């Protein structure tokens, strides 16, 4: 029996593949390489000394999924397959809705045909919207999203919840990720964004290796202790382990379950920059810019539910995230293309 990682060649998928392989699972990856490289899958094999069955397919393509399911014995699906650039989703909403909802509908359809009853989905803290106070609890109402990418997460949660209601044997674990950063400690796999990074951490690592001259901090006048935005950064390896914990939980508990995956701790942009500089002994030049539209002053999880249900909590520190992310970027200054 194997786990299928849909979109598993990407940043979070490759780290998750390593943790499943290390835990003794067989791993199948389906990815159309829209935002990833096959080299990343080879590196997963190199790190673990195990092989991965790789299908270069569009996960919206039900026939391609049927072929995969007929060739592999899939006990659970972890669904990462989606487009994730917030700004691009505003410019190309139809592409985002079509792809991000299409992958989920195709997976659920083919899973049902093949009797696979377990899906773990990559959701996001973005579904909490902007009206809930921090820390964010799973019991809080979902809010209004500010962009099509966020709405696809919101709608995918709804689709999986409705599918679980209709099929009492189906289990869907909706993992709401906070801000995944860092890289595997080997320095062989990591985040490799195309073009100018949208998120702060890959931007900092690219400044650190000289790919970009400086960071722009999006506002220092928020109502936070140092005026900069606060987020719950989580090491991608901790996040990966959360998926390994979610599969046995899902197998035992039919129905839909929402679980935050964060550390429960908020870190400001200034704290992030200072920690990165101190741990790695590099300077990160920065300027203060305008606030970014749609940004929240603060977002961090209450992470108790993950401990209670999955026996999982984050173990790595902000220092680990900064050290491991910088190691990946220094060893691979141009990502997988370098």
Structure-derived torsion over alpha carbons of residues 278, 188, 24, 306, reported in degrees to the nearest 10: 40
Residues in the chain, total: 338
Nearest CA to 198 out of 240, 154, 149, 239 is that of 149
Site string for ligand UD1, 97-136 (x = CB under 6 A): ---------------------------x-x----------
d(CA 282, CA 274): 10
User: Which does residue 35 bind out of ligand NAD, ligand UD1, none, counting CB within 5 to 8 angstroms by kind?
Assistant: ligand NAD
Selected range binding ligand UD1 among 47-55, 158-166, 195-203, 313-321, rule: CB under 6 A: 195-203
The least distance separating ligand UD1 from the CB of residue 109, rounded to whole angstroms, comes to: 26
State which of positions 257-316 bind ligand UD1 (CB under 6 A): 269, 292, 294-295, 299
d(CA 255, CA 170): 6
Q: Which residue is nearest to ligand NAD (CB)?
A: 10
Active site includes 149?
yes
User: Which does residue 306 bind out of ligand UD1, ligand NAD, none, counting CB within 5 to 8 angstroms by kind?
Assistant: none
d(CA 313, CA 142): 23
- Mutual orientation of helices 200-208 and 269-280 as an angle, nearest 10°? 30
Catalytic residue among 25, 96, 149, 233: 149
Of the candidates 65, 81, 116, 261, which one interacts with ligand NAD according to CB under 6 A?
81
The 3-state secondary structure of 86-100 reads HHHHHHCHHHHHHHH
Using CA of residue 103, residue 106, residue 110, residue 113, what is the dihedral sign? positive
Of the candidates 33, 134, 296, 309, which one interacts with ligand NAD according to CB under 6 A?
33
- Counting contacts by CB under 6 A, is residue 86 touching ligand UD1? yes
- Mutual orientation of helices 148-166 and 93-113 as an angle, nearest 10°? 20
User: Which does residue 308 bind out of ligand UD1, ligand NAD, none, counting CB within 5 to 8 angstroms by kind?
Assistant: none
Of the candidates 15, 43, 79, 84, which one interacts with ligand UD1 according to CB under 6 A?
84
Strand positions, DSSP E, 145-284: 171-177, 179-181, 215-218, 230-231, 233-235, 255-261, 267-268
Contact 264, 303 (CB under 8 A): yes
Q: Which residue is nearest to ligand UD1 (CB)?
A: 229
Q: Give, in degrees to the nearest 5, the angle at Cα 322 between 321 and 324.
A: 65
Q: Please count the residues of this chain forming the interface with ligand NAD, following the rule CB under 6 A.
A: 27
User: Which does residue 86 bind out of ligand UD1, ligand NAD, none, counting CB within 5 to 8 angstroms by kind?
Assistant: ligand UD1
Nearer to ligand UD1, 84 or 327 (CB): 84
Nearer to ligand NAD, 35 or 299 (CB): 35
Contacting positions for ligand UD1 (CB under 6 A): 84, 86, 124, 126, 150, 179, 198-200, 203, 215-218, 229, 231, 269, 292, 294-295, 299
């Amino acid at each position: 029996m194997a786990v299928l990682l849909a979109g598993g060649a990407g940043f979070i998928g490759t780290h998750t593949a390593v943790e499943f392989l290390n835990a003794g699972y067989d791993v199948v990856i389906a990815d159309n390489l829209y935002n990833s490289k096959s080299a990343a899958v080879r590196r997963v094999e190199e790190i673990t000394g195990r092989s991965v069955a790789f299908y270069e397919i569009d996960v919206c393509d039900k026939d391609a999924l049927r072929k995969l399911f007929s060739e592999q014995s899939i006990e659970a699906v972890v669904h990462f397959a989606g487009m994730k650039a917030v700004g691009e989703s505003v410019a190309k909403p139809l592409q985002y809705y079509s792809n991000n909802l299409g992958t989920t509908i195709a997976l659920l359809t083919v899973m049902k045909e093949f009797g696979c009853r377990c899906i773990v989905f990559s959701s996001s803290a973005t579904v909490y919207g902007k009206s809930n106070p921090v820390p964010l609890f799973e019991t809080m109402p979902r809010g209004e999203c500010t962009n099509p990418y966020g709405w696809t997460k919101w709608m995918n949660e709804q689709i999986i919840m409705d599918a679980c209601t209709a099929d009492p044997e189906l289990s869907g674990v909706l993992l709401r990720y906070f801000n995944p950063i860092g890289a595997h400690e080997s320095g062989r796999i990591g985040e490799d964004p195309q073009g100018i990074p949208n998120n702060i951490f890959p931007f900092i690592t690219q400044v650190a290796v000289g790919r970009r001259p400086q960071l722009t901090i999006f506002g220092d006048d928020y109502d936070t202790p140092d005026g900069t935005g606060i987020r719950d950064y989580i090491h991608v390896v901790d996040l990966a382990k959360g998926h390994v914990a979610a599969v046995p939980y899902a197998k035992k508990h039919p129905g839909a379950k929402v679980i935050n995956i964060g550390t429960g701790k908020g870190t400001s942009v200034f704290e992030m920059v200072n920690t990165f500089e101190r741990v790695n002994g590099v300077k990160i030049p920065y300027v203060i810019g305008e606030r970014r539209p749609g940004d929240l002053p603060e977002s961090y999880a209450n992470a108790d539910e993950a401990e209670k249900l999955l026996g999982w909590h984050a173990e790595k520190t902000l220092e680990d995230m900064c050290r491991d992310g910088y190691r990946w970027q220094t060893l691979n200054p141009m990502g997988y293309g370098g």
